[in-house]
């Protein structure tokens, strides 16, 4: 007999509510949940393929341990014993920094990934922390850290209320949005147009998103910072700035004026390859709109001037009075955030508190550049990385120069991978610890509720019981925390108890909190939840901004109220949060932080270096997700292909025919890829998607291996970084292209 269960989709940032159909112990169908308070029934092809992904026969069902060179199935206790036996000696002999932790994108899509990695890093006490952020959004964290004093305070466009959206280097019609959680992003953009609003898209490709726009600017890749500086220049030059309510909370306006003075539309036009008049018109439209939001994503982040681009986006939001006002760019307030408190100066945000050992890259938000991981493993000497613990990460495909990382991982003393697949990266592991599929995992969006265009909260328990004897991902990570802490074999529930004890001790000491002065043991006894993670969620909800405060606000949130509302609870539209949210030392928005000001001369110099080289950019396909969804038959084929897109004029100039192979050469290597001639990319630009290259031996990806594609990141050698954030330049790097043979 079949039955249904609600499940929040973990496959992209939109966090749609799904209804799963369950037959016996399998998911047989998935549809959008019409009753979901946020997604109201929306579903995309990936969500609809939830069952195929969940039931993928290539998913690992038990742990693997390396024996005599090859990976063999083993029991869970044996696997953790092996992990401890390999990891402990590295720590004991070489110290904490000899262990690198690598966290991939799925950690923001799992409940375990929100709860345990900080404890793992804390227990290891390593400075070698690498995550997907430095191949993605670290520039935004750095800009927010510097401007607002909080790297996690990220303004999102108030999508449902804005009158004007300036969207830079993002393609939500394929990606479904990023750092802007909005189920049915495409529908929300169409609604913007319907209510008379305008959409401007800046993208060197005419994407499906650009095709919706009133105005599409197709600049030369990597030049957005110069373009945005010119928009700022026009606002000042034409007297179009108006900070509105924020005026008294912002400092550094005159410094920004001075820094951008030279960036007239005429000065940047040739560099951006855009008409000066069009740049000026874009600035005027932005200023004239009753409300507007400037929003930049991957194409404005994984670029040479990623931090400057992200900073200038919020400078534009502030200067037009749109920061923190309805219809502008606003700060969500999630249910597990710290409860708001009176405005006051904070500790600020520091960059470069330590540096990477080999190349001296500055730390950002406690992380080192993922692009530097290979050299940290390979380079001998004191402080060398000898053990690597990966959780949901496939850097062999997602980071620059995968072949080097491939070799480096193969030579490490200990590689532990928490991953459901035996893929390009996990094949190097000594121990693979596969978490259960999503149907058997609970779900709460710690990360994305703080980036959502509407405040709301939803929790779904696992739809199917865990397979007998199989640990969930929380238990796997808790056992690794114990190993890291030298407590291998202790009860993993102890990890949650310690976390709860620590959080309660802090909460009762907080004079602004709802439980100030109360007895931690008494509060702990009030927590509900049938697992450690549920009790930790209950704690965070109850202490959070909408929480019941352990009785202080009886109608407030707790785990129990979430369980009573399986389709979620709406917490209302985004509301202004400045100045309460600011944590800068000045207690104000610092519009012109010293590190970004110091990077402006580099931007100024770039204006003189326009070259005729072909520049490569990436792209995403709706039915794909980074490196790990090419193994589901329902999602393969069609337009979801690894090709080199090139403009007809460039194809003709280079003698490239549609469908024929091209050889592409970059600083880190070369590859052969089929040509797709299309005028959807502008001249001077070619595009290859990432996450392909599934032809390495020793993997278990039978569907993906049949159409492997090539790894675009092999074209990079890892040396091109946005210097402030350590983020790899994955968009707008030079390549040479010729016909193959």
Ligand X SMILES: Nc1nc2c(c(=O)[nH]1)N[C@H]1C(S)=C(S)[C@@H](COP(=O)(O)OP(=O)(O)OC[C@H]3O[C@@H](n4cnc5c(=O)[nH]c(N)nc54)[C@H](O)[C@@H]3O)O[C@H]1N2
Structural contact between residues 368 and 356, judged by C-beta atoms closer than 8 angstroms? yes
Q: Shortest distance, CB of residue 242 to ligand X, whole angstroms?
A: 26
Structural contact between residues 54 and 27, judged by C-beta atoms closer than 8 angstroms? yes
Q: Shortest distance, CB of residue 83 to Mo ion, whole angstroms?
A: 28
SS (H, E, C) 491-517: CCHHHHHHHHHHHHHHHHHCCCCCCCC
Query: Does 711 help bind ligand X (rule: CB under 6 A)?
Result: no
DSSP states of 358-376 as a string? TT-PBPBTTB--GGGHHHH
DSSP states of 686-731 as a string? EE--SS-----TT---HHHHHS----GGGG--S--EETTTTEE--S
Distance CA 29, CA 19 (A): 8
Site mask for ligand X (CB under 6 A), range 568-607, x = bound: ----------------------------------------
**Using CB under 5 A, which of the segments 135-143, 236-244, 678-686, 708-716 binds Mo ion?**
135-143
Nearer to ligand X, 9 or 662 (CB): 9
- Chain center to CA of 509: 33
Instruction: Report CA-CA distances (Å) from 513 to 27, 549, 702.
Output: 43, 8, 53
Nearer to ligand SF4, 203 or 445 (CB): 445
**Using CB under 6 A, which of the segments 121-129, 131-139, 257-265, 453-461 binds ligand X?**
131-139
Nearer to ligand X, 9 or 319 (CB): 9
Quickly tell me which residue has 């904070």 as its tokens.
346
Query: Does 172 help bind ligand X (rule: CB under 6 A)?
Result: yes
Q: Shortest distance, CB of residue 731 to ligand X, whole angstroms?
A: 3
Q: Shortest distance, CB of residue 587 to ligand SF4, whole angstroms?
A: 37
Task: Please enumerate in sequence order all residues whose Cβ is within 8 A of that of 357, keeping only pairs 6 or more positions apart, or say none.
Answer: 97, 376, 379, 381, 383, 384
Nearer to ligand X, 369 or 420 (CB): 420
> Residue of minimal CB distance from ligand X?
299
Task: Please enumerate in sequence order all residues whose Cβ is within 8 A of that of 325, keeping only pairs 6 or more positions apart, or say none.
Answer: 244, 245, 291, 576
- Among ligand X, Mo ion, ligand SF4, none, what does residue 418 contact (CB within 5–8 Å per kind)? ligand X
Residue of 13, 82, 136, 419 interacting with Mo ion (CB under 5 A): 136
Outline where 402-484 has alpha helix (H). Answer: 402-411, 473-484
Nearer to ligand SF4, 11 or 480 (CB): 11
Q: Shortest distance, CB of residue 53 to ligand SF4, whole angstroms?
A: 10
431's tokens? 């121990």
Q: Shortest distance, CB of residue 548 to Mo ion, whole angstroms?
A: 34
Q: Shortest distance, CB of residue 11 to Mo ion, whole angstroms?
A: 13
> Residue of minimal CB distance from ligand SF4?
47
- Among Mo ion, ligand SF4, ligand X, none, what does residue 334 contact (CB within 5–8 Å per kind)? none
Distance CA 351, CA 371 (A): 18
- Among ligand X, Mo ion, ligand SF4, none, what does residue 14 contact (CB within 5–8 Å per kind)? ligand SF4
- Among ligand X, ligand SF4, Mo ion, none, what does residue 16 contact (CB within 5–8 Å per kind)? ligand SF4
- Among ligand X, Mo ion, ligand SF4, none, what does residue 458 contact (CB within 5–8 Å per kind)? none
Query: Does 620 help bind ligand X (rule: CB under 6 A)?
Result: yes
- The counts of H helices and E strands in the chain are 26, 30
Query: Does 145 help bind ligand X (rule: CB under 6 A)?
Result: no
What residues line the site for ligand SF4 (CB under 6 A)?
Answer: 9, 11-12, 14-16, 43-44, 46-47, 176, 183
- Among Mo ion, ligand SF4, ligand X, none, what does residue 9 contact (CB within 5–8 Å per kind)? ligand SF4
Q: Shortest distance, CB of residue 664 to ligand SF4, whole angstroms?
A: 30
Neighbours of 302 (CB within 10 A): 29
- Among ligand X, ligand SF4, Mo ion, none, what does residue 456 contact (CB within 5–8 Å per kind)? none
Residue of 176, 320, 356, 645 interacting with ligand X (CB under 6 A): 176
Instruction: Give the DSSP H/E element, type plus range, for residue 655.
Output: none
> Beta strand pairing status for 250-251 and 733-739?
unpaired
- Among ligand X, ligand SF4, Mo ion, none, what does residue 581 contact (CB within 5–8 Å per kind)? none
Look at phi and psi of residue 718 and say left if phi exceeds 0, alpha if psi is from -120 to 50, else beta: left
Distance CA 440, CA 462 (A): 5
Q: To 5 degrees, how large is the angle CA 386–CA 387–CA 389?
A: 155
- Among ligand SF4, ligand X, Mo ion, none, what does residue 11 contact (CB within 5–8 Å per kind)? ligand SF4
Structural contact between residues 154 and 177, judged by C-beta atoms closer than 8 angstroms? no
Binding site for Mo ion (CB under 5 A): 136
Binding site for ligand X (CB under 6 A): 12-13, 104-106, 110, 132, 135-136, 168-172, 174-176, 178, 202-205, 207, 221-222, 224, 297-300, 303, 391-395, 398, 418-421, 423, 435, 473, 617-622, 624-628, 690-691, 712-713, 730-732
């Amino acid at each position: 007999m079949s039955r249904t269960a609600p499940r929040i989709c973990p496959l992209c940032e939109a966090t749609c509510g799904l209804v799963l159909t369950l037959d016996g112990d399998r998911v047989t169908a998935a549809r959008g949940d019409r009753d979901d308070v946020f997604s109201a029934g929306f579903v995309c092809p990936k969500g609809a393929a939830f069952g195929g992904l969940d039931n993928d026969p290539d998913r690992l069902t038990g742990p693997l341990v390396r024996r005599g060179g090859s990976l063999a199935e083993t029991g869970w206790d044996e696997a953790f014993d092996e992990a401890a036996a390999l990891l402990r000696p590295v720590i004991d002999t070489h110290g904490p920094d000899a262990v690198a932790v690598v966290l991939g994108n799925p950690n923001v899509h799992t409940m375990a990934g929100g709860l345990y990695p900080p404890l793992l890093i804390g227990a290891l006490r390593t400075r070698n922390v690498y995550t997907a952020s430095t191949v993605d959004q670290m520039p935004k964290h750095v800009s927010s850290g510097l401007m607002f004093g909080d790297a996690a305070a990220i303004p999102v466009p108030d999508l449902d209320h804005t009158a004007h959206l300036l969207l830079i280097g993002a393609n939500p019609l394929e990606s479904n949005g990023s750092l802007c959680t909005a189920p049915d992003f495409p529908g929300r953009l169409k609604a913007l147009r319907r209510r008379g609003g305008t959409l401007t898209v800046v993208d060197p490709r005419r994407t499906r998103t650009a095709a919706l726009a009133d105005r599409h600017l197709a600049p030369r890749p990597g030049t957005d910072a110069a373009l945005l500086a010119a928009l700022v220049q026009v606002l000042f030059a034409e007297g179009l700035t108006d900070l509105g309510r924020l005026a008294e909370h912002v400092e550094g306006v005159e410094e920004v004026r001075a820094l951008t003075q030279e960036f007239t539309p005429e000065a940047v036009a040739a560099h951006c390859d855009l008409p000066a008049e069009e740049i000026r018109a874009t600035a005027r439209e932005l200023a004239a709109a009753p409300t507007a939001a400037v929003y930049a994503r991957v194409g404005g982040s994984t670029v040479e001037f990623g931090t400057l681009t992200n900073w200038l986006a919020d400078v534009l939001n502030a200067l037009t009075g749109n920061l923190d006002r309805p219809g502008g760019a606003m700060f969500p307030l999630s249910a597990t955030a710290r409860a708001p408190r009176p405005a006051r100066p904070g500790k600020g945000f520091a960059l470069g508190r330590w540096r990477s050992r080999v190349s001296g890259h500055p730390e950002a938000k406690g992380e080192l550049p993922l692009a530097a991981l290979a050299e940290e493993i390979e380079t001998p000497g004191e402080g060398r990385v000898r053990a690597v613990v990966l959780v949901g990460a496939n850097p062999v495909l997602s980071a620059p120069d995968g072949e080097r990382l491939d070799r480096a991982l193969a030579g490490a003393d200990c590689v532990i991978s928490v991953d459901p697949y035996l893929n390009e990266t996990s094949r190097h592991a000594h121990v693979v610890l596969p978490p259960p599929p999503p149907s058997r995992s609970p779900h709460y969006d710690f990360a994305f509720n703080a980036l959502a265009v509407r405040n709301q909260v939803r929790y779904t328990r696992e739809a199917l019981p865990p397979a007998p004897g199989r640990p969930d991902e929380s238990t796997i990570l808790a056992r690794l925390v114990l190993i890291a802490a030298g407590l291998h074999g202790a009860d993993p529930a102890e990890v949650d108890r310690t976390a709860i004890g620590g959080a309660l001790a802090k909460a009762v000491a907080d004079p602004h909190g709802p439980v100030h002065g109360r007895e931690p043991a008494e509060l702990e006894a009030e927590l509900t939840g049938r697992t450690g993670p549920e009790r930790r969620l209950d704690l965070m909800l109850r202490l959070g901004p909408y929480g019941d405060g352990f009785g202080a606000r009886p109608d407030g949130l707790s785990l129990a109220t979430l369980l009573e509302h399986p389709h979620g609870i709406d917490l209302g539209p985004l509301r202004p949060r400045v100045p309460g949210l600011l944590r800068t030392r000045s207690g104000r928005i610092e519009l012109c932080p010293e590190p970004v000001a110091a990077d402006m001369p580099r931007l100024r110099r770039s204006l003189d270096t326009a070259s005729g080289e072909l520049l490569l950019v990436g792209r995403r396909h709706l039915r794909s997700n980074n490196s790990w969804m090419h193994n589901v038959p329902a999602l393969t084929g069609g337009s979801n292909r690894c090709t080199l897109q090139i403009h007809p004029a460039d194809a003709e100039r280079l003698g490239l025919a549609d469908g024929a192979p091209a050889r592409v050469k970059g600083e880190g290597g070369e590859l052969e890829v089929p040509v797709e001639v299309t005028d959807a990319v502008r001249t001077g630009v070619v595009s290859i998607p990432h996450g392909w290259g599934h032809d390495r031996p020793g993997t278990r990806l039978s569907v993906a291996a049949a159409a492997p594609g090539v790894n675009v990141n092999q074209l990079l050698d890892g040396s091109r970084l946005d210097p402030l954030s350590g983020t790899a330049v994955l968009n707008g790097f030079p390549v040479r292209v010729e016909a193959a043979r």
